[in-house]
Each structure stands twice: as structure tokens, then as C-alpha cells.
A and B are shown apart, each in its own frame.
Chain A
């Protein structure tokens, strides 16, 4: 039932996603689930296989989209190729994105030795990421008869996260309090290489960019530190991406940001891909900033419970956690319906999806339930 429900559509995925990101009315609510693992699982692949053979990743993204019928594919995403090119040693697990093994910078002297000017077309694994985007574009265009294609989302690392990868996250956290001037200097240096990479990604064929910040939530740093140190750099990065590429920018506040949603909204993203937070509070705070002329948000992506437990600030209940992974299709449908109603009712556009990446092992029926719900409850 879920898989077959109403496949009649009036817009292509590209038209639907872009309409929502411009704040215009699509034929129905688009679906974007950050599909890393489901397409690989559909083909019986582990992530390392798709990293070793990029065409396998392309194949999985294309066949996965055709199978599940969501509205956006993703490139390699969150591989840290810039941090790696700058000197951080990454560890590549068998079935996940890499993690920091050895940070590039331990001292201020190390910082001076880094070659901050990178060439995304030549250095390290960046060309591999660009190759996947180009191949996705070619193949998706072929399937769209040369006229249209499913949009390709790429990723950019905001300066705070990048510096975390360069310093190691423990040192990053102590530096923001003990030596904020150095943290600032590092973020300024780290912005440019990632901006170069995002420009190359868009040139290779990406249609939209998401930027995430996993180190500035209320679980990590104070609102004051966010306001003074990391939010201005987040905003600078997002504004630079828009200025240099012209593509929409989606920002993912990863974790619990309930006490700083006003500041998040001011970072000038077009869309917020919400973490495990209260949808009503997020919508209220973001529209408040829009009305005040301090934000330009057009859409909300999310936030069906996916990977993380309820944000535990003991103040605002978060009802959606872990549903996509562990819930029933019926529970997912109920959450989708509620999210769509709340977001669309606020004047923002809803792009339905999880509240973090769709994790490994999500039952295919649960993903089908999201698409089904958008078709059933998201006709606008």
C-alpha cells in the first residue's frame, strides 16, 4: 500500500524541491531524507565499497531514488575531503563516513605550516567527490530525457566544524573558551578552502548545498559563545556560498538548539534541516525572525525522529525522536502529517524528512511511509 500510493505528480522532483526552497507552492510537499544508507542497502553494498568504486555510489543513489521516489539525491557528503587535504588524518570505517584520527593542528606553529590554499580539482579525495557529482548529473539527466533531473545536494562544512576536525574536538572546545581569538583566526582560515570546495561542487553539478554545525548546539557550547564566536562565521560561510554560487543553502543545526533558534535563523539559510527539536518551537522562532526581517527562511526540512534520542533540556518535549528508525509506518505517517500541518500552517514550506541522516537499517517500508505521507497529506 505505502509503495503504490498515488504516483501521479504534476511537478518533477527538481521543480518541487526548488519551489519549496523559494517559498513557492509545489504540487505537494517534497521528500528529502538524506539517503546515504538506504540506497546502498537496497543494492546490498557497504559504504566502503561505494567509496572505493565511486560509480557504485552513483548507481546506488540513482536506483535508490527510483525505488523510493524521494525528491533529492546526495553526493558523497560529509567525507571531510578538505580537512584531509589540510592535513588531518581520517579513519575510514567499513560502513560509515570517516572520523578524525589525527588532527592536523596541535599548536599555533602547526597552523602556520598548513597550506590553506587548496585545489579541489587536484588535491586528495576532493576530485573523487566532484567526480561523483558530475556522474550523478550525467546519469540523472539521461534519465530525465536531457531536460530535467532529480536535484543533487552537496555538503559544505561550516568553519566551527572544520576547525574541530583540524584541532581535534576536545582541543576545539577548550580553545573556544581559553583562546577565542585563536579559534576565530582558525575559523577565518578554514572558511576559504571549504568555500572553494563548495564552488567546485556546484560547478560539477550540485543544485543545492547543506551546511551543518554539530559543535554549537546547547549540548556543546553556551549561547553566548555561539552568538559571539561561531554563529557569525556560520553566517559568513552561508552568505559566501549564496553569493559565490547562487544555489539555495540548507542549514542543519545538529542536536538541541532550543535556546538559540533566533540566532540560528539569523544565519541566513534558505531552509533549516532540523535536528531532534520541537517542531512548533522551531517554526515559531524562525517565522518570528522572518517577520522581524532578520532571517530569510523559506522552508523547513525534517523532522521525523531518525537517529537521536529526545533533546533532553527538560524544558521542551520532543515527540519525534527515533520514529523513522524504530517506529511503525502508521506512526511515521502520523508524524509526517503533523509536521506538514505545523510547517505549512506557518507560511513556511515543508520538505518532509528525518531529523538527521536516515540511519542504517531503516526498514524500507518506513521510508515508503514518508513518501506516501507526503503524497497523501502534503498535496497543496
Chain B
């Protein structure tokens, strides 16, 4: 058992240290005597929590977050089919995207990776997504949470348009909406009618968990 724990610890550290190849190799080895769900819950999720905390504390920055996320994604890709087969319970389902007219993708991508690392099923629509595309995705994917990102003063108000479009289609109450991006703050999130605001990828994960609890 001690050896097994050591392996999970090594995977965790390889992600925190942004060693993508090592994370994949160790995950392959770990799968010989670990359930995929254990690797996810005891190595990948804690690793991304550490990375997120270090980002919030100003000890890691965007490059380190992205590289750690790459390492985590490599490991997660190995686990995904096994998790699907085992019927492991997801933390929730999230549809994410940057609003129309805004091609800034890094923020929403970081949130997606952190959410995946935290056990959420994530569907990323990418950047420059129209209100009708968000509505369509909510209809077809039926997510628990819709995440909207914007970096610009000019595009942030389109979050409100998305929320209004969901209201018009009678979908607003079926999904929790969280917003984020450099230009956002709690006041704007309230003004747009969102259920929550997160200033960065780490807090977005916490917010998503809180929103899931409020759905329960």
C-alpha cells in the first residue's frame, strides 16, 4: 500500500512540476495496480488543486499553469476510457466558452482543464461563441453549469445577451451560470444575472463545486 501511495504521489508531483511525459509514463505504470478513479481522485485532482492554489498565491503563473495542465491532460486521456467504463460518478457537467466577438481562449481553456482535473465532464465550445450556439449547447448537452468567459469591455456585456437568450428559450432555470475573465467582477456578474463569478481558473473550480451543491 505504501508503494502504491508513493506512485500516486509521484504522479501528483510530476503534474505539479510540469513534467508531461513523466506524468503519462507514471500513470501507465500506476494503472497496473490502481483503479483509474483512484488515480484521478488521489493524484490528478490534488495536483491541480496544488497548482491552482499556487497560482492564487502568486507562486505559479500562466505558463506554469498551462504546462501543469498539459501534464494533467496527458494523464487524464489515459484514464478517460477506463473511467467511462467503470461508470465513475462525474462531479458535474459543464459547457464552457468565450462569448461572441472575443477570441481570447486561454482563460476558458485553463478553466476547462482545471474542471476536468477536478472530475467534471467538460464540453468546451472554444472562443467567439454566439448566444444561439450557447443556447443550442445547453439544449443538446444538458449541462449542470454554463461557463462564460470574456476578456474585453466590448464583449463582456454579451454574457448578458446569452443569459437573456436562455431565458427566452425557457432554459435559464435549468442551468447554473458562472462567468469570469479579466474584465469581470462580482458587480458585473450580478448585473448580467449570473449565478457566480470567479476571478481565475482555480476559484472557478471551487465555484463550480459550490454551484453543484446548490443544485442538489
* Chain A residues engaging chain B, CB cutoff 8 angstroms: 91, 93-96, 99-101, 169-170, 173-174, 176-178, 218-222, 225, 255, 259, 307-310, 312-313, 321-322, 325, 359-360
Contacts and interface: CB of A to CB of B under 8 A. Distances in A.
B183 A96 contact: no
Contacts of A173: 62-63, 66, 106
Nearest to B70: A174
A256 to B, nearest CB: 10
A222 B18 CA distance: 16
A222 B54 CA distance: 12
A310 B185 contact: yes
Interface in B76-105: 101-105
Interface string B163-195: 000000000000000000011110110000000
A221 B103 contact: no
Interface in B131-172: 152-155
11 contacts: A91-B103, A96-B155, A169-B106, A220-B61, A221-B62, A225-B61, A308-B182, A309-B182, A309-B183, A309-B188, A360-B153
Given A173-B66, A307-B183, A99 B104 contact: yes
A191 B52 CA distance: 34
Given A91-B103, A173-B66, A312-B199, A359 B154 contact: yes
Interface residues of B, number: 28
Contacts of A218: 58, 61
Which 3 pairs of residues, A with B, have the shortest CB-CB distance? A309-B185, A359-B153, A177-B63
Given A173-B63, A174-B66, A221-B61, A99 B103 contact: yes
Given A99-B102, A174-B66, 4 more contacts: A93-B101, A96-B155, A174-B67, A309-B188
Nearest to A178: B67
B102 to A, nearest CB: 8
A245 to B, nearest CB: 30
Interface of B: 18, 58, 61-64, 66-67, 70, 101-106, 109, 128, 152-155, 182-185, 187-188, 199
Contact of B183 (A93, A178, A308, A313): A308
Contacts of B62: 173, 219-221
Contacts of A221: 61-63
Given A174-B67, A221-B63, A308-B183, A95 B103 contact: no
Contacts of B188: 309
A175 B152 CA distance: 25
Contacts of A99: 102-104
B61 A222 contact: yes
A91 B152 CA distance: 15
A259 B57 CA distance: 13
Nearest to A315: B58
Given A170-B106, A218-B58, A360-B153, A177 B64 contact: yes
A225 B105 CA distance: 22
A100 B103 contact: yes
Contacts of B101: 93-94, 96
Contacts of B63: 173-174, 176-178, 221, 225
A95 B154 contact: yes
Which secondary structure characterizes the binding site on chain A? loop
B109 to A, nearest CB: 7
Contacts of A170: 66, 105-106, 109
A128 B160 CA distance: 35
Contacts of B109: 170
A231 to B, nearest CB: 15
Best-buried of A218, A255, A307 by chain B (most CB within 10 Å): A307
Contacts of A100: 103
A9 B67 CA distance: 56
A144 to B, nearest CB: 33
Contacts of A322: 185, 187
Contact of B182 (A94, A95, A219, A222): A219
Best-buried of B63, B128, B183, B187 by chain A (most CB within 10 Å): B63
A225 B109 CA distance: 23
A133 to B, nearest CB: 24
Nearest to B199: A312
Given A101-B103, A259-B58, A313-B58, A307 B153 contact: yes
A261 to B, nearest CB: 15
A168 to B, nearest CB: 9
A170 B98 CA distance: 15
A221 B62 CA distance: 6
A100 B102 CA distance: 10
B205 to A, nearest CB: 17
A322 B105 CA distance: 24
A37 to B, nearest CB: 9
Contacts of B104: 99, 169
A50 to B, nearest CB: 15
Contacts of A177: 18, 63-64, 67
A169 B151 CA distance: 13
B154 A96 contact: yes
